[in-house]
Each structure stands twice: as C-alpha cells, then as structure tokens.
C-alpha cells in the first residue's frame, strides 16, 4: 500500500538551496525523485532511526530526514542536507 509523501516547506527550501548551488543539478533532482519513490512504497525499510520517530535516509548527494505517520499513511520530509562527496 502506498504512502503520501509531503515535503515540509523547510525541506523544500533546503532542497532548492542545494540544487541552486550544485555542480550537478541532475544528480540532486534524481536523488529527490528517488527519495519520493522509496518513501512512497517502503518508508520503514529506508534509512535508519534517529531521535524519536525521525529517520535519516542517504540518497547521494542528499541526506533526508523524515517521519512516518502510519495512522494516515503519510511520510513527512522534514529536512534535507547535502552529503559530503
């Protein structure tokens, strides 16, 4: 069963900032698309747990922090960071 993936405004701003500064914007866009795909179908199987219910998934060149709400089958992307090369 699918989950709905929602990017919080702060995460969208993080992604936009990373994309505008990237030498390879295609890699950033591809990582964001892959993030959506993986979180839509299997968010609990991705990444590793962090503080509380937050999880971290690495899809280079991005590190994506997210939470899963099982009750409404939603995934909330909270923040995005650029991973070191």
Torsion of CA 49, 67, 57, 80, to 10 degrees: -130
Statement: residue 4 has pLDDT above 90: yes
**In which residue are the tokens 């995460």 written?**
11
Distance of CA 70 to the CA centre of its chain: 17
Answer whether CATH 2.40.70.10 is correct for domain 4-71+78-82: no
Nearest CA to 42 out of 26, 60, 55, 61 is that of 55
Question: pLDDT of 16-73, one tens digit each?
Answer: 999 999 999 999 999 999 999 999 999 999 999 998 899 999 999 999 999 999 999 9
Predicted pLDDT of residue 14:
98
Would you call 7 exposed, middle or buried from its count of C-beta atoms within 10 A (0-12, 13-18, 19+)? buried
Domain coordinates in residue numbering, the chain: 4-71+78-82
Predicted pLDDT of residue 52:
87
Predicted pLDDT of residue 1:
83
pTM score of the predicted model = 0.93
C-alpha torsion sign, points 31, 6, 3, 69: positive
């Amino acid at each position: 069963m699918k989950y709905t993936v929602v990017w919080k405004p702060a995460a969208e701003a993080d992604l936009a900032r990373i994309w505008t500064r990237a030498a390879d914007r295609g890699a950033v866009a591809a990582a964001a698309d892959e993030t959506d795909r993986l979180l839509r179908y299997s968010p609990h199987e991705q990444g590793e747990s962090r503080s509380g219910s937050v999880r971290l998934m690495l899809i280079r060149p991005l590190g994506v922090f997210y939470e899963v709400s099982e009750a409404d089958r939603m995934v909330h992307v909270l923040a995005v960071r650029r991973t070191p090369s």
